[in-house]
Structure 1
Amino acid sequence: MTERWLLAWGTGYAAVGAASLLIPLYAIELGAGAFLVGAMASTAAFAGVPGAILWGRLAARTRRRRPFVLVALASVAGVLGVIPLLGSPWTLLVANAALWFVVSAAAPVLNLIVVEGAPAADWDVRIGRLNAVQGYGWVAGLVLGTVWTATVARMLPAATAQELLFLVLAATSAAATLAAVRWYPERPTTSPERFARVFHRLNRTDWGAGRYLRATPYGTTRLYWGIREWVDARRRGRQPGGSFDAPLRRYLLAVALFSVGFAVFWGPMPVYLTESGASTGTVFVLFLLANAGSAVCYSPVGRIVGQRGPYALQAVALGGRALLFPGIAVVGIAAPAVAPYANAVGFTLIGVTWALIAVTATGIVTRLAAEPVRGYALGAYTAIAGIGTGLGSVLGGGVAEVAGYPATFAGAGLVVLAALGLFRRSVSLDGGGSDAAA
């Protein structure tokens, strides 16, 4: 895996990172409400899974990799280039789903590329490196959006500036496609079957989940291979889910709850900020601060977890989010004059708590799961988090339109608080866990 190949894919992912926020903001300019924006986040979470499954099967049957990656990058350029021509928020919902379908479809193919020629012991490092490049590309896209709205958008109407930015992102992805054509590595020979056999033995704690915030927090890479491994196990007559201990089952339920709670908060957030008077540039800055708070803390949190264990840190992070989510609404109502500054601090802290949760969650599942079912437990955890994100996003948008944003953010905090209570029942915060961990 060459540095130039990573640069090409990371450049394409920068366009995706900027578009992830630009699409809902453009939909708002066209009249979209909280429900539709939440539905966009939901489709982003769900659309990638069938794309990865379909393309993963096609890549396995054709034993080819190059066309799928190039089509993904070229399709991103095509979707982003067409968006300025769309005049309805509902057509943007379809375009957003198409974007995430093609981006996520490349995930299993990329895994096979990056591990080619390496011993299985090095696969974690290589996949983590790929995800780190994607994460940094994602943040670079948000930086581009921030700079664009602070400069070009000041000289043009908001919708026109956003349409021009879509064209810039389309050109960026097209350039990434051309670079990939030239820098793509030799045709790999690692088979999907071999990757699937090794997948349950991989550590997965260094796969970069906490480096950045996105609609699907745990990524299609882990979700696709986890689902594939689970289905293959059931076809062979094994029932790994039946072997999960009670503490692990309770923790997975807590994961479902807090994933829904997180998404209820984030789903309608662009609409809330816009309706509160925030400019497009301010929205980009706030999301950038959240991502920066997560990225900066990712490695230090990993070191702290190694010293003190994951349980107390995750409890602190969940408790913090349970307070921060409704706190955003309270400040907006009680002190609107200072709300922009409070939001900056709040979003940064929320990003920090995400780093705590992303780093500790995989370690907790690993400790609670007995060795024979550990790989299946990690796959189940990833799938549950992704599904919870999709459901919570559309739920948050619907609640916001019916009951308003204060009720939505308070409800998100209560769901996270319930997850914290269930989490406390699953583990002891002094470093102990289930009998399996002992």
Structure 2
Amino acid sequence: MTPDSTVPDSATHPAHHDRLRVWRTALAAPGRYIRPWYGAYLLLGIVTAGMVPVLLPLMMVAISHQLSSVAYVMGVFDLGLLTSPLWGMFAERLKLYRSLFFLSFIIAAAAIGVFPLLHTMIGWMIAAFVLGAGSAGAGTLASLFIVDFAPQNEWEPRIGLLQSFNGAGQVVGLLLAAIFAHGQFDDGLWLAAVLLIPALMLGGIGLPIQRKARAADQHPHRMLDVRALAAFPHVNLPAGIGFHMNHFNLRGLRHLPDVIGTPFGRFILSWFMLALGVSGFFTYFPLMLEHGYGVNTHLTSSIYAVGAAIGITLFVLASRLATRFGSGKVYQFGLWLRLAGFVLLLLPYFMPVLPRLTLAIVGFFLIVIAWPLLSVAGTGLAARLATFSEGAAMGLFNASLALATVIGAFASGPIIAALGYRGLAWMGVIGLGLSIVTGLGLGRRQADAPQPAA
């Protein structure tokens, strides 16, 4: 058979036909897969993915009058997220799943509650790291309660529904943030801290108690079908990280030398440049849109909430598009869509007569809704192009995303000090442009190419 260099994913990977199988399974019998403690994850989404990303930067600038404080504090928050592998390691080795799950909510609530009482950079950075660590712990333990306790054939629908709870929480949290975004930052953050108290109570209902044995050679992260899981929304955190809790690990880093010069290596570089380019914007977006374009924070939160709500549906649509046209083409389309958003943010600086407010609203909306396309297609490409195990590939995939976001968050402070808000728009345009160039042709793969090891 003659190899076809343009064969779509559906032909080279039959698993792509099963992307929607998880949704059908979950929706056919939701009561079988939903547990009361999922409500704790919904509340976590309200707080860490909805309220905190909007209110925290606004509060810090209102107190310090220094934009650079946002970059450093949110960068430290991202560093706290990198503790995710430690939470998983301690939970599995010490069998302290429930204790660590509750502890993560407690320290996250405490960190949010003390933020309004702190007025120094050092204090904010410590609280931000603790908040990031608590958020990472809650998300990691939530996934482990499924993959370490539930039957393997129920992992995908359970994790899908769990992540959908978080996505719905983000929408609610953004709407709540809009209420407190006109100066009541302290009240909003204290409400966010209080919301994590019922999360503690909900988190104790229906949690598994008896740990089930698992064969020594079976690691749950390697056994998950990442292509099927890509159909679901992931946790969207303040600096723009799409945090895949169940796959975030560092063991894939040992394969880094092996991927240089390969299509997978080129994809990882493209993914890194994407995250690096947009990280500054997602660190400052409430302030940038308000002070740079006149979009008040109430409207910003509302637009983000609408985009996040639409995004839940777009994750399924993106799966259909990837199945029909291939993950490479969908990935490129998502990059161009996000690039168009950043170009619209740049235009008013070159053509002041253009309607700055309208361009900012449309640009922001395009940037937000592009994420489902990028997440689904990126996950599919990572699994499809890797020449080693999917678990290790996803570890490298997410590690590159997290590293780029941390670097970009810290770098955005000096950039905005030198160039103002337009510097963040340029950062997005340049990062996405490089991502598009390095990602060209990744959708073309020969039908008889070797498949990644299981």
Q: Quick check: 1:314 aligned with 2:362?
A: no
Residue by residue over 1:249-298, the C-alpha shift from the partner in whole angstroms, topping out at 9 and shown as x without a partner, is 11111111111112133233333223234433233224324423433322
Shift of 1:136: 1.6
Aligned letter for 1:21? V
Q: Which residue of the partner structure matches residue 377 of structure 2?
A: 360
User: 1:168 — aligned with what?
Assistant: 191
Choose which of 305, 310, 323 in structure 1 pairs with 2:340: 323
Structure 1 residues 407 and 72 mapped into 2: Cα distance closer, same or farther (>3 Å)? closer
Q: Deviations over 1:377-415 (max 9, x none)?
A: 222111111111111122223211112222331232122
1:202 to 224, 234, 255: 224
Letter in 1 for 2:133: F
- Residue 185 of structure 1 aligns with an amino acid whose one-letter code is L
1:185 aligned partner:
207
Aligned partner of 1:27 in structure 2 is 60
CA distance in structure 2 between the partners assigned to 1:53 and 1:123 by the alignment? 19
CA-CA distance at 1:191 after TM superposition: 6.1
Pairs within 5 Å for 1:213-362? 213-214=236-237, 215=239, 217-219=241-243, 221-222=245-246, 224=248, 226-227=249-250, 229-230=251-252, 242=258, 246-276=262-292, 277-331=294-348, 334-335=351-352, 338-362=355-379
Q: TM-score, normalised by structure 1?
A: 0.85
Contact map agreement 1:73 1:103 (CA 8 A) in 2: yes
How many residues get paired?
Answer: 416
Return the alpha-carbon distance in structure 2 between the equivalents of residues 77 and 89 of structure 1.
20
- Does the 8 Å CA contact 1:124/1:207 hold for their aligned counterparts? no
Distance 1:76 1:434, change over 3 A: farther
From the superposition, tell whether residues 333 and 290 of structure 1 become closer, same or farther in structure 2 (CA, over 3 Å). farther
CA distance in 2, matches of 1:14, 1:192: 33
Q: Which moved more, 1:275-284 or 1:132-141?
A: 275-284
What CA deviation, in whole Å up to 9, does each residue of 1:284-317 have, x standing for no partner? 2243244234333221111121122111121122
- How far did residue 25 of structure 1 move? 1.2
Quick one: distance in 2 between partners of 1:350 and 1:142? 16
User: Which runs of 4 or more aligned residues in structure 1 lie more than 6 Å from their structure 2 counterparts after TM superposition?
Assistant: none
Change (3 A) 1:375 1:55: closer
Higher mean displacement: 203-212 or 164-173: 203-212
In terms of mean alpha carbon deviation, does 193-202 or 168-177 score higher? 193-202
Tell me the equivalent position of 2:167: 135
Candidates 76, 80, 86, aligned match of 1:43: 76
* Equivalent-residue separation in structure 1 for 2:185 and 2:353 (angstroms): 27
Question: Deviation at 1:199?
Answer: 1.6
Give me the whole-angstrom Cα distance separating, in 1, the residues matched to 2:430 and 2:193: 40
In structure 2, C-alpha distance between the alignment counterparts of 1:321 and 1:31, rounded to whole Å? 31
Task: State whether residues 247 and 434 of structure 1, in contact with CA within 8 Å, keep that contact through their aligned partners in structure 2.
Answer: no
Give the superposition deviation at 1:167.
1.8
Decide whether the 8 Å contact of 1:254 with 1:422 is kept in 2. yes
User: How far is 1:201 from its partner?
Assistant: 2.7
Q: CA separation in 2, counterparts of 1:217 and 1:433? A: 33
Query: Does the CA-based 8 Å contact 2:307-2:365 persist in structure 1?
Result: yes
SS at match of 1:200: helix
SS in 1 for 2:439: helix
CA offsets per residue over residues 88-124 of structure 1, 9 Å max, x none? 3553233222111111023332222123553323323
Q: Quick one: distance in 1 between partners of 2:376 and 2:244? A: 17
Q: Aligned ranges for residues 104-119 of structure 1 at < 5 Å?
A: 104-119=136-151
> Which whole-Å CA distance do the structure 2 matches of 1:10 and 1:188 have between them?
24
Q: Describe the shift of the 1:434–1:188 C-alpha distance in structure 2 as closer, same or farther (beyond 3 A).
A: farther
CA displacement 1:154-173 (0-9 Å, x = unmatched): xxxx1xx1111122222211
Partner deviation per Cα, 1:314-342 (whole Å, 9 max, x = no partner):
11221232232132132367458833333
* Structure 1 gap ranges (5+): none
> d(CA) in 2 for partners of 1:299 and 1:38?
33
**1:98/1:331 Cα in 2 relative to 1: closer, same or farther (>3 Å)?**
same
Distance 1:298 1:140 in 2: 19
Distance 2:360 2:163 in 1: 28
Partner of 1:85: 117
Change (3 A) 1:93 1:295: farther
Cα distance between partner residues in 1 of 2:439 and 2:431:
12
What code does the residue aligned with 2:413 have? G
Larger proportion of helix: 1
Counterpart Cα distance in 2 of 1:122 and 1:75 = 30
| Counterpart residue identity of residue 221, structure 1 | M
In structure 2, distance between residues paired with 1:73 and 1:135: 18
